[in-house]
Amino acid sequence: MRRTLSLGIAGALIASSLVVAGQPATAATGRLVSATALHTYATRADVDAALTADKFDPGTDRFGVRTYRLIYRTIDATGRQTTASGLVALPINNSKQLRTVSFGHGTEIYKGDAPSTSDDVFLIGPALTFASAGFAAVAPDYLGLGAGPGPHPWMDVPSETTAELDLLRAARVFVGGQGRQLTRDVYASGFSQGASAALGLARALQQGADPWFRAAAVAPISGAYDFRHAAIPSLFTPEVNPLLASAYTTYLLVAFDRLHDIYPDPGYVFQRPYVGLPKLFDGTHQGLEVLMALPATIDDLLTPRGKALLLHPTGRFADALAVLDSVCTDWAPRMPVRLYYSPGDEEAVNANTEHCHAALAGHGVAAPTINLGVDIDYNGFVHEGSEVLGVPQVTRWFTQLSS
């Protein structure tokens, strides 16, 4: 069983003044604060062993890998200066020019469950895979996770975008200090929460958010791209595991209220005895502890007003959901796009991928949906299995595009 709780989990059962995603960057954003060497996988065989321990296909591996934790300057969800952390994985080879893959991880609630602060292969496996294939891989922890201060603003695409972009900038400086260079091309991918983050990053790069980096392709995996019309309604159906529906509903309400003030007090949306749940989503509580505190079903969790707020959002909540869902609706990617999914996903239901595909098609964008099949052996959950299946396929596609 995995040790965390995430939309990608199934826990115990889950130097620029450009505007980025509506928030102003400053000369300080992306500045490297520190770099810490983490692990050396000296040979391809070492990478193979690490990946196969968590069922990742090592078929794209070519090189050993070194990993590092970077801490860097960025802005928080309100535009104030802060720091964040992220993982950088580099191939052990003689290449001086490295194309980059940015990979966004799935939902986590515990600060330590982030790529740069965890040894969980589910979190670091994507970076190892891309780096062993010859890419420089960067994996943001996002705000408030890893070594970053404060609570995590879950599913806030603008701050996910700035965290990813500023990690790219810090990584460019770090890699340059090793006598190597990140080329302009960035291949964006991510799983679950990170799928929306990947689209947000690709959109920002296409819009000129950085004078150096440009989006070469984007390949999100099993995203919840349409919260208002697919992800939220599915929480009230048998399509989503009921305990995980309870978990994701709580995280959504707590995170969005913290950032957007969408209800007057916890008792407005949560039934007794669950009005104290928000305190568990401060980043200091591990997944199993949170799962044990949750009701088994969403009906036991919510008041009638809480259910109405979710199913019929208005005001600030509706506006925030529109920003989240805009990753598929308000732009036309000019780079290759593929949407990866597994049928029968019990967390980010397939309607999300269908809606994103349709929205992009409405802008004249051909974004093929790629059926990954099902790996029911990954803790018995389709959703998590889609990362394990998807990352090697995305690696092969990015390698083809970059060769």
Counting DSSP H helices and E strands in the chain, the numbers are: 13, 11
25 vs 191, which has greater pLDDT?
191
Q: Tell whether the model's pLDDT for residue 18 goes beyond 50.
A: no
The pLDDT assigned to 379 comes to: 81
Asked if residues 208 and 331 have their Cβ atoms less than 8 Å apart, the reply is: no
pLDDT for residue 13: 32
Give the pLDDT of residue 380: 85
pLDDT digits (tens, 9 = 90+) for 56-112: 999 999 999 999 999 999 999 999 999 999 999 999 999 999 999 999 999 999 999
The pLDDT confidence band at residue 285, using thresholds 50, 70 and 90, is very high
User: CATH homologous superfamily for 19-226+332-402?
Assistant: Alpha/Beta hydrolase fold, catalytic domain (3.40.50.1820)
Read off the pTM: 0.93
Look at residue 21 in the predicted model and tell me its pLDDT.
Answer: 39
Tell me what pLDDT residue 42 has.
98
Is the pLDDT score of 5 beyond 70? no
User: Whole-angstrom Cα distance, residue 320 to residue 141?
Assistant: 22
List the chain domain ranges: 19-226+332-402, 232-322
Across the range 389-398, mean pLDDT stands at 98
What confidence score (pLDDT) does residue 376 get?
67
The pLDDT value recorded for residue 10 is 37
Residue 28 — pLDDT band, cuts 50, 70, 90? Answer: low
Q: What is the mean pLDDT of residues 328-342?
A: 98
- State the pairing for strand pair 19-20/23-24: antiparallel
Q: How far is CA 339 from CA 122, 223, 397, in A?
A: 20, 9, 12
Please report, for residues 69, 239, 323, 339, 356, the alpha-carbon distance to residue 367 in angstroms, rounded to integers and kept in the order given. Answer: 33, 25, 21, 7, 9
Q: Compute the mean pLDDT over every residue in the chain, rounded to the nearest whole number.
A: 92
DSSP annotation of 23: E
The predicted pLDDT at position 256 comes to 98
pLDDT band at 276, cuts 50/70/90? very high
**What confidence score (pLDDT) does residue 287 get?**
87
Question: Is residue 14 predicted with pLDDT exceeding 60?
Answer: no
Q: Mean pLDDT across the stretch 40-56?
A: 97
Q: Which class is 232-322 in CATH?
A: mainly alpha
Stretch 331-342: mean pLDDT = 98
- pLDDT of 12 strictly over 90: no
Nearest to 327, CA basis, from 199, 216, 181: 199
| 278: phi then psi, degrees, rounded to nearest 5 | -55, -30
Closest CA to 87 of 49, 57, 113: 113
> What is the distance between the alpha carbons of residues 204 and 19, in angstroms, rounded to a whole number?
9
- pLDDT at residue 11 above 60? no
Give me the sign of the Cα torsion angle 361, 101, 184, 144. positive
Which pLDDT score, from 0 to 100, does residue 22 have? Answer: 38
Mean pLDDT, range 186-208, rounded to an integer: 98
pLDDT at residue 23 greater than cutoff 70? no
229 SS3 class = helix
